Amino acid sequence: MATDPKVGDRVSYDGAVCTIRYIGQISGTTGSWLGVEWDDPARGKHDGSHKGVRYFTCRSKSPTAASFVRPTRPAEKPQSFVAAVTEKYAADLAKTAVIKFSNKVAEEVGFDKIHRQQAQLSELKIVIVDSSRIVSACAEGDEPISQTCPKIIELDLSRNLFREAGTVVDICSELSTLRSLRLNGNRFEDISNDKGLINSKDSLKDIKDLALEETFLSWEEMCYFATKFETLSTLSASANQFSFLPETPFSTLASTLVSLNLEFNNFTSISDLANLAGLTSLRNLHLKCNAISAITNGTSDDLPVLSTSIKYLDLSYNHVSSWAFVDALPTCFPGLISLRFSHNPIYNNPDPEFSAQSKSVTEEAYMFTVGRLANLKTLNFGSISHSDRQDAEMFYLARIGKHLATVPESQEAEVIAKHKRYAELCDLYGPPVVNRRKEINPAFLEARLVHVQFTFHSAGKVVERITRIPKSFDIYTVKGIAGNLFGSKPLGLRLIWETGEWDPVAGFDDEVGDSSDEEMEEEEEEAGKKGEVGDADDLGQSSQPEARTGKWVKREVELPDGPRQLGFCVDGLEAKIRVEIR
């Protein structure tokens, strides 16, 4: 430990990094103490308070991020960036290594070749020196970075001992080929007043990818830092405890930033992110593993509207429990064509009343989501084909019909209001079949009769007859009635019950993938193979093919000859039966 520690210093004890937040006495003890906030919150014992007295406040919201240690506790020696790179990639390695298998000695060769490759520091392009206790760019006696490792393209400086962002600028200023920079887990102090950032644009102008995960910077500080990167296209700001993004001038970010990662934060609504509307070039927005459950945060009923440039949205592993949320997405994200939505409560249980009647919950959730979002082209990393969309929309419309059948006609408008695409889908496929069943006293004769509509095709004409048949009549008797109605021999007829429902003739696969990011470039490339730019598919607009053929057919059931009663062969008190000659 340095002989003169200061509040804000970064220290490493046995590989565990912390920041000094307090120096002084603690009531009930003797001597001086250091109050530290650990980078790993599980490492501590409290939040900066002791026996009811608060001595300091941590940036982390964890209740166990802090500890008190003695100033005499030995700390690991910090080092320069040049020393860290040299230590990792050019330290003396034994040319051979001895390994034992069941007390038998085996010699592993090849380390000399690896050593020679790693020792060529001047040729390194990807350098990872995270958790290397780096505190400065160069130390006395070090060669300049521009001579030691000038060709670095990707650099990871995460979880080091930087106190000022200016130190990072000093390192980057000598790396003219640097394009990707990761600073995760560092704890920069007062970044808005960091003198090292004032004239830093020349040093950072060519860096396109920046990661500032778990730095606990405020959103204003993060944007101030990010605007120093004039060509920045990707910013990762995960795990920074954000719950709301205040309005911030984005400067050059508005025209350059393409992908923004805000995973593992504390957002609860889309309104918390409304101020991102100023990012007019943003295309990919990652919001996985937040606590988002609503569109608005309760302070206003107005729906937030973000940039039309946003094409891909990741809302997986959130708390969405209402389909009304999904219906509002096209308003909030007018350009949305690709969505990841798995692992939300509504996706895991899409329709409690009718769930999983003939297919898995994942299939139902997939079809409800596609059916509700007309412009969606990709869901959960899987492309949506024309037939997929048709099948999903028909299934969704049929399910609306089932919901309508459960309420009286006076409440139809209330149900339809919950489905924004209802009128549009009815225009495409026709209104759904609504088999509304009347409540009848089971003691009445009417409750034991089936209202049957027979349809008979003969000589190019369709003949209909309507009659009531007791549920207890067997199929032989029903055929006899049909024969009398249409003047045919009963055993020469086939009776086909038209259920009014749809059946799949092929299933859907479960969602594809669950961990990789969706890149819009791949989506555009795939779309480009299907047609020229300007097609409805490429623009994310819904289109109706001339011949719509999908995986769904109207469900029909033939009533087989036998003593089985009619009431066990059809559902409800109404049935439509088609009569055919064998």
Q: Is 499 left (phi over 0), alpha (psi -120 to 50) or beta?
A: alpha
Q: What is the DSSP string of 429-493?
A: H-PPP--PPP---TTSGGGGEEEEEEEEEETTEEEEEEEEEETT-BHHHHHHHHHHHHTS-GGGE
| pLDDT tens per residue, range 202-229 | 899 999 999 999 999 999 999 999 999 9
Pair 33, 68: CB distance under 8 Å: yes
CATH hierarchy code of domain 241-348? 3.80.10.10
Write the single-letter amino acid at 324. Answer: A
Rounded CA gap, 21 and 165, in Å? 18
Q: What is the average pLDDT across 370-375? A: 96
Instruction: Say yes or no to pLDDT of 335 above 50.
Output: yes
Rounded CA gap, 181 and 189, in Å? 19
Q: What is the pLDDT of residue 285?
A: 98
Instruction: Say yes or no to pLDDT of 90 above 50.
Output: yes
Rounded CA gap, 344 and 54, in Å? 39
Comparison of pLDDT for 180 and 529, the residue scoring more: 180
The DSSP code for 37 is: E
Q: What is the pLDDT of residue 519?
A: 44
Reading the block at residue 518, the tokens are: 């969706």
The CATH 3.10.20.90 portion of the chain extends over: 445-504+552-581
Bridge partners for 581 per DSSP: 493
Rounded CA gap, 476 and 495, in Å? 11
The DSSP code for 351 is: -
How is domain 10-69 classified at the CATH fold level?
SH3 type barrels. (2.30.30)
Q: What is the DSSP string of 227-248?
A: TT-TT--EEE--SS--S-----
| pLDDT tens per residue, range 56-65 | 999 999 999 9
Q: What is the pLDDT of residue 299?
A: 73
Confidence (pTM): 0.76
Handedness of CA 16, 19, 20, 21 (dihedral sign): negative
Rounded CA gap, 55 and 39, in Å? 18
Handedness of CA 464, 469, 474, 480 (dihedral sign): negative
Q: What is the pLDDT of residue 518?
A: 41
Pair 434, 411: CB distance under 8 Å: no
Instruction: Say yes or no to pLDDT of 425 above 90.
Output: yes
Bridge partners for 450 per DSSP: 469
Reading the block at residue 12, the tokens are: 């490493």
Instruction: Say yes or no to pLDDT of 369 above 60.
Output: yes
Rounded CA gap, 111 and 116, in Å? 9
CA distances from 497 to 406, 420, 452, 520 (A): 22, 32, 10, 48
Rounded CA gap, 173 and 196, in Å? 11
Rounded CA gap, 283 and 474, in Å? 63
Reading the block at residue 411, the tokens are: 């409440």
Top-level CATH class of 445-504+552-581? alpha beta
Rounded CA gap, 35 and 76, in Å? 17
Bridge partners for 451 per DSSP: 468, 574
Rounded CA gap, 536 and 528, in Å? 12
Rounded CA gap, 534 and 337, in Å? 15
Helices (H) and strands (E) in the chain, counts: 16, 26
Q: What is the pLDDT of residue 211?
A: 98
The CATH 3.80.10.10 portion of the chain extends over: 241-348
Instruction: Say yes or no to pLDDT of 402 above 90.
Output: no
Rounded CA gap, 468 and 475, in Å? 14
Phi and psi at 509, nearest 5°, equal -75, 155
Comparison of pLDDT for 343 and 544, the residue scoring more: 343
Instruction: Say yes or no to pLDDT of 104 above 70.
Output: no
The CATH 2.30.30.190 portion of the chain extends over: 10-69
CA distances from 238 to 163, 208, 250 (A): 20, 17, 18
Write the single-letter amino acid at 109. Answer: V
Question: HEC string of 160-224?
Answer: CCCCCHHHHHHHHCCCCCCCEEECCCCCCCCHHHCHHHCCCHHHHCCCCEEECCCCCCCHHHHHH
Rounded CA gap, 192 and 224, in Å? 7
Q: What is the pLDDT of residue 333?
A: 98
Instruction: Say yes or no to pLDDT of 1 above 60.
Output: no
Exposure string over 155-165, b if 16+ CB within 10 A, otherwise e: bbbbbbbbbbb
Confidence of residue 443 (pLDDT cuts 50, 70, 90): low
Please give the torsion angle defined by the CA atoms of residues 111, 117, 120 and 125, in that order, rounded to the nearest 10 degrees.
-130
Q: What is the pLDDT of residue 181?
A: 98
Nearest of 9, 57, 55, 54 to residue 32 by alpha carbon: 55
CB neighbour class for 17 (10 Å; exposed up to 12, middle 13-18, buried from 19): buried
Instruction: Say yes or no to pLDDT of 43 above 60.
Output: yes
Helix (H) or strand (E) holding 50: strand 49-50
Query: Across the chain, what does the average pLDDT equal?
Result: 85
| pLDDT tens per residue, range 507-540 | 444 443 444 444 444 444 444 444 433 333 333 3
How is domain 78-216 classified at the CATH fold level?
3.80.10
**3-state SS assignment for residue 106:** strand
Question: Strands 382-383 and 378-379, how do they pair?
Answer: antiparallel
Bridge partners for 313 per DSSP: 285, 339
Sheet order of strands, 461-470 included: 461-470, 449-458, 574-581, 493-504, 552-558
Reading the block at residue 481, the tokens are: 């009635």
Of the listed ranges 214-223, 357-366, 536-545, the least confidently predicted one is: 536-545
CB neighbour class for 423 (10 Å; exposed up to 12, middle 13-18, buried from 19): exposed
| pLDDT tens per residue, range 269-326 | 999 999 999 999 999 999 999 999 999 987 777 899 999 999 999 999 999 999 999 9
Phi and psi at 111, nearest 5°, equal -65, -25
Instruction: Say yes or no to pLDDT of 136 above 60.
Output: yes
Q: What is the pLDDT of residue 460?
A: 77
Q: Is 347 left (phi over 0), alpha (psi -120 to 50) or beta?
A: alpha
Reading the block at residue 130, the tokens are: 């995270």
Q: What is the pLDDT of residue 513?
A: 41
